[in-house]
């Protein structure tokens, strides 16, 4: 259909790949659990835009050039490692501060909370994290081309169909995470030590993602 091949295989594979935990989905869940549903959707929008840019690059052949250049790959890979580590240490630092404040019985200062929310900019951080993921670019190159008929006269339409399917599946999944994270946010507002521990766990997992990217 529209120059695609094995479309249902693509749908099943896309769902399974999206369900695998990764730094993007983990960051969206973290934002929703710390700052609520609105901020979670801002982060999800950054992921959607990042995926869109990567898919356009793949369709244009730019990602293939990226895959063929070890120097460019390593440059983006280490930039991604550094950025994931930056996000992770920010979460761990915030969790540590929350833990200390809760242990001392210090009240939550509304202005400080608002300043933290304004400074994080979930959309921008999620977008940068998506674009600095070289494995995601290689995924688009290796995965999508398998489901596009090379003899079809309108390959842009084929990529468009695959793009819509991917984004719909991603939207459903990230929306589910955001709703779940918003429920956690209400719990975390009452139990600050639990919120601090959650930040620390998420930060540690993101460091693990960075380490995996560095050695991959």
Q: What whole-number distance in Å separates Cα of residue 182 and Cα of residue 194? A: 15
> Which domain, by its residues, includes 69?
7-16+23-215
Domain count, the chain: 1
Residue 1 lies in a domain: no
Residue 184 lies in a domain: yes
Residue 2 lies in a domain: no
pLDDT score at 93: 75
pLDDT in tens, 32-70: 887 888 889 999 999 999 988 888 877 776 656 766 777
Helices (H) and strands (E) in the chain, counts: 10, 0
Residue 134 lies in a domain: yes
Rounded (10°) CA dihedral 101, 107, 112, 117: 80
| Reported pTM | 0.73
């Amino acid at each position: 259909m529209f120059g695609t091949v094995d479309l249902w295989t693509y749908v099943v594979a896309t769902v399974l790949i999206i369900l695998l935990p990764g730094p993007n989905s983990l960051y969206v869940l973290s934002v929703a659990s710390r700052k609520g549903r609105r901020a979670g959707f801002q982060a999800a929008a950054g992921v959607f835009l990042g995926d869109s840019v990567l898919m356009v690059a793949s369709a244009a052949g730019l990602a293939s050039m990226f895959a063929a250049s070890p120097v460019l790959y390593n440059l983006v890979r280490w930039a991604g490692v550094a950025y994931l580590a930056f996000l992770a240490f920010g979460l761990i630092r915030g969790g540590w501060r929350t833990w200390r404040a809760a242990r001392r019985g210090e009240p939550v200062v509304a202005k400080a909370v608002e300043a933290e929310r304004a400074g994080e900019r979930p959309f921008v951080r999620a977008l940068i994290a998506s674009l600095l993921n070289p494995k995601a670019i290689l995924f688009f190159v290796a995965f999508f081309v398998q489901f596009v008929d090379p003899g079809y006269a309108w390959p842009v339409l084929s990529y468009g169909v695959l793009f819509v399917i991917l984004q719909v599946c991603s939207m459903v999944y990230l929306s589910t995470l955001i709703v779940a994270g918003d429920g956690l946010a209400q719990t975390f507002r009452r139990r600050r030590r639990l919120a601090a521990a959650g930040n620390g766990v998420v930060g540690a997992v993101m460091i693990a993602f960075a380490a995996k990217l560095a050695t991959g």
